[in-house]
Chain A
């Protein structure tokens, strides 16, 4: 049943600024087909001012409405003014969004930030993400940094709210405990730190055997749960080469999966010095 404000309805039924912007000089993309929603935001920036903005969105009514109202909000603003636009501003401009749709407004904010980063020539990546940001929700590619930021900026206090705002934990639920720990940490409640097990020294043979065991018994089953898969290609000293398969190929967070889940798990459980590399294959070559 319709559970939207008139404003959401209006922006969904007749969205503003739809389509590709041919002379855009900043583009921000978030989400994917696999995740169920995706937004591609096009900006034309002149003298640090956004003179035009358009979007393309795949998603539900509130995702389309959030994108539409976002373009209205940022047109004419300077980059700095635009960066001050929060997901809450997007939701407010729509007269509010249902709790379970708040992630649509977060997607708008993230696309805007990604576009501005691309304009400034900064590395692409998600909000709050730095080189060491850890992937928490593998289904939707949500990092710890994104979760912490959503909690801080929106005053969230429960796991359910985090799911509503970031989608983390909304599919397989495998990361809900992890999310709970982050919520507890951010809200100052008691936190039980996870104790990774690390064997001390080992021979090359032991390391190889341990890597194989952890991939087969820990990593593979978890990727399988989401329809993904992994293949061990080679182990050369501390360098482990793997190939992601199945749903992992459709997933925009596969790089993060590789670095944050596969590499981190191997570092935690086998050897802190392990480096995981994707199998190199010529573009277009069939798997």
Chain B
């Protein structure tokens, strides 16, 4: 069975050109870039070339690019480095819908006595800039705000937010893991101090990330013990993956318009197709400011895991906002922060495309998903109910009068 991969916000396939570029460094060119002989210089040169390609994609200078192990390492390092440089300031601002890498860091900071402001989003997943402005104060050390949300694709107004922080001398970090390669992004005009990206989200392999640190912004090493990356990140460089990420960045720069045209058109076709074929379906998140590859859609009366497993039977890979496991029996923190009703949140599915997605795959997915939702609704006790939740409420013995809206 052919695989239809619509989970590109989770990870992406390694582009054939990327694999080709990295292979020599897994084979013959195994030199350590720190060594003195010319054999190792091949690896060192390839690494610096990769750094330049990534800088080009971001509108940065090569010396502002630090290679890390993953997006999470980049986030952790940026946040800790920024806060260490401002020990007298004890206020950290972030949002409720960040990736768990940043959420976990925020919780850790709270335990360490920091005041943490968790900014709310509205029901479309949008940030309230006025509330953000009001949260900035003289004690604020750092703001960490994702560029685009992994679950809904909603894009935050990072330029405005970073400018507001900058005018008050507050450091600004953005987790741009989902944005880089999908939408144009230029650090020459985007006044952030730190930016995190991850290779495997843009067709490079897993295990390679980047932390951008603006020249002049404070920095402290997280990993110490070597002079690599000018002492900013110790540890022998992952040369093959760095070369791969360089190639992936070059390809991303070349294809960035396709993301906005071809990929967007396919995503829109998928969205329209599903909404037309399946009753009681809604799109989660702001459809105006959204990554061109992402669709988060909710189907009432059915549950996410069941949808995913039936999609899997048809060779279609997607993910769900519903994590029906203990510890997280409630649906995704992103959808809950948006106030998506439980009745929809449990049946939410995220479909994320890439430039390798074909129209045939989109057609197949519309057909398959329509069939799957219909089938699960056949099994569901709530089908044919105009107001399912309330109907069950009353039959379960809810206090009279309260179950009617």
Contact = CB atoms under 8 A, between A and B. Distances in A.
A191 interface: no
A118 to B, nearest CB: 10
Interface string B390-405: 1011011111111111
A29 B396 CA distance: 7
Interface stretch (B32-40, B111-119, B283-291, B324-332): B324-332
Contacts of B388: 33
Interface stretch (A54-62, A73-81, A178-186, A265-273): A54-62
Contacts of A163: 326-327, 329
A254 interface: yes
B231 interface: no
A139 B329 CA distance: 10
A21 B402 CA distance: 29
Interface string A244-287: 10011111101100100000000000000000001111111111
A2 B306 CA distance: 11
A124 B399 contact: no
Nearest to B344: A33
Nearest to A13: B313
Nearest to B326: A100
Contacts of B305: 60-61
B303 A258 contact: no
B404 A281 contact: yes
Interface string B78-112: 00000000000000000000000000000000000
A172 interface: yes
Contacts of B382: 33, 38, 58
B341 interface: yes
A96 interface: no
B400 A278 contact: yes
B330 A2 contact: no
B159 to A, nearest CB: 33
B346 interface: yes
Contacts of A56: 379-381, 383
Contacts, number: 160
B343 interface: yes
B389 interface: yes
Interface string B268-307: 0000000000000000000000000000000011111110
B144 interface: no
B309 A254 contact: no
Interface residues of A, number: 62
A38 B381 contact: yes
A36 B379 CA distance: 15
Contacts of B380: 56-58
Contacts of B404: 281, 283-287
B61 to A, nearest CB: 41
A135 interface: no
B339 A227 contact: yes
Interface in A50-68: 56-61, 63-64
B363 interface: no
Given A252-B398, A285-B404, A33 B342 contact: yes
A167 interface: yes
A32 B326 contact: no
Contacts of A280: 400-401
A29 B326 contact: no
A57 B393 contact: no
A278 B381 contact: no
A125 B400 contact: no
B322 interface: yes
A195 B399 CA distance: 29
A71 to B, nearest CB: 12
A212 to B, nearest CB: 21
A85 interface: no
Contacts of B313: 13
A79 to B, nearest CB: 22
Contact of B379 (A15, A101, A251): A15
B392 A61 contact: no
A127 interface: no
Contact of B381 (A12, A35, A39, A170): A39
A100 B313 CA distance: 23
B378 A29 contact: no
Nearest to A20: B381
A39 B399 CA distance: 21
Nearest to A282: B401
Contacts of A63: 303
A58 B309 contact: no
Contacts of A13: 310, 313
B312 interface: yes
Contacts of B390: 249-250
A13 B306 CA distance: 10
Contacts of A249: 390, 393, 402-403, 405
A124 B378 contact: no
Contacts of B346: 33, 36
Contact of A58 (B301, B330, B400): B301
A18 interface: yes
Contact of A164 (B326, B383, B395, B402): B326
Given A61-B305, A170-B328, A285-B404, 13 more contacts: A19-B379, A29-B392, A33-B300, A34-B389, A57-B380, A59-B306, A64-B306, A101-B324, A243-B402, A251-B393, A254-B398, A255-B399, A286-B405
Q: Which 7 A-B pairs have the closest CB atoms?
A: A170-B329, A56-B381, A171-B330, A40-B381, A60-B305, A100-B326, A278-B399
23 contacts: A36-B324, A36-B331, A40-B381, A57-B379, A58-B382, A60-B305, A61-B309, A100-B325, A100-B326, A125-B397, A160-B326, A160-B327, A163-B326, A170-B326, A170-B328, A171-B330, A244-B402, A249-B390, A249-B405, A250-B342, A252-B393, A278-B401, A283-B404
Interface of B: 300-306, 309-310, 312-313, 322, 324-331, 339, 341-343, 346, 378-383, 388-390, 392-393, 395-405
